[in-house]
Structure 1
Amino acid sequence: MKLKISWILGAVIAFIVFAVVYMPAIQVVGRVNLPKNIAFSSVEGTLFQGSAQTVIVNGLPINNVKWQLNPFYMLIGKLHLELKAGNLRDKNEIAFNGPISTGLFDQSQISTEQFTVYLPVDRVLAQVRLPLPVNAGGRFKVQLDELHFGPTCHALSGKGDWLNATVAGTQGPIDFGSYSAKLRCQGDDIAIEVSEPNLLGLSMDAVVAPNLKKVQVTGKFKPDASLPDEVHQASRIFGKPDQSGYISIKL
């Protein structure tokens, strides 16, 4: 009798496991109350290995999203996904690749290592409240060596690049080259440290609140002589150059 019960329990557990593993992802997405700022379209595959043609987050479309969910992490109360999205070669697309971990029952905190993301500059700036309006182009590339975040910054190390930076000028886009930055936590906020060399002669430290609603910037810059006159003229908005030709920034 005990042997029969064991076989029955084993069969029930096996059925539940297979049902979850092969559950169509669209069935789960259709029944979950997603936040209002997140929407899925054309979901295919299973809960553990699937894809979505488009995921919209805060009005930003992310195309060709694919995921793999590791079931073993669920045994210790975590979700661990390998994510891939977008086209890394398309400058107009959001693209990323790497692992994400969060809680099985509480997704307020996330962590990752060796995660790479590409973001169109114009779309990112549209989400940030800047002290001055900026019409800029190019692409942000972020390489996260380590991140523990939510709802504030707990640990962060990595590098950010502004590739093929352009800013709208009176005669058309102005090429500002590329810029590199180091990423870290500054208390609860995210800090971005930019160093020379670059065409703007820019070195600065920017601190961004987790909700992107507050930005503080301190630093200095000295535009390269090769940049158009309108850049040098516009730089005087920030004040007069010092004896070394640098203009201070404090926003």
Structure 2
Amino acid sequence: MTAFVKQEVKNNIGYITFFHPAGNSFPSTQLQQLVETIQDLDKNENATIIVLQSEGNTFCAGASFDELLQIDNLTDGKQFFSGFANVINAMRNCSKLIVGKVQGKAVGGGVGIVAGCDYALATTKADVKLSELTIGIGPFVIEPAVSRKIGQTAMSELTLAGNEWKPATWAFEKGLFAKLLQPEELDAELEKFATQLASYNPEALSEMKQVLWQNTAHWSTLLYERAEISGKLVLSDFTKKALEGFKK
């Protein structure tokens, strides 16, 4: 299968589904497609809420290593990591609540996307990892979103132990996931929750969205400042060698 980001509206629920054959990792073009799809559904009057989901066994493997290896200047580096900043800001600025369906593991930027959801349902297979330090960079762009959900102490634990997977139970206990389910329960529980949420007053839901994301307006500049840090670090010999090692 080829990579895609697609949308569908059913019963007042807007569904965004993404896929990439490399573990649902994101190249920059697909990050932009995700931003545009979120913005498109935000304007769609037939959708009261949005469900964000992926296909396959992995939820999201974060940034595309192939594209990271191709970056050879600061401008391109900042632009690539700004892709994740664009996604998180699109999720934050969207007037509609976003429900995440996390069926499997999330790494790096994938954890940031989960954190950008207003409510996330996950399975016991949804382990998480922030491996950025192990390749010479850091989760700078997604840190505000993740820390907002799980707190700085848990964020530190997740970041500094970048070679370790944290089990889905850990992520649930820290607040990244609102509900933890067995894999076979996820679809039915998601449909039940999303259908109920979509039946509420759209105006009340929109006002609630603004309340949930108050005090984050500065992210419109902060996340791009963080993208420049990552864009600089990805040019280092340490990172280039680490990425090559991961590919092998």
Q: Do the two structures share a fold, i.e. TM-score over 0.5?
A: no
Higher relative contact order (CA 8 A, sep 6+): 2
Structure number having the greater strand percentage: 1
- Normalising TM by the smaller chain, what interval? under 0.3
Q: TM-score, normalising length from structure 2? A: 0.25
**Which structure is higher in helix share?**
2
TM-score, normalising length: structure 1: 0.25
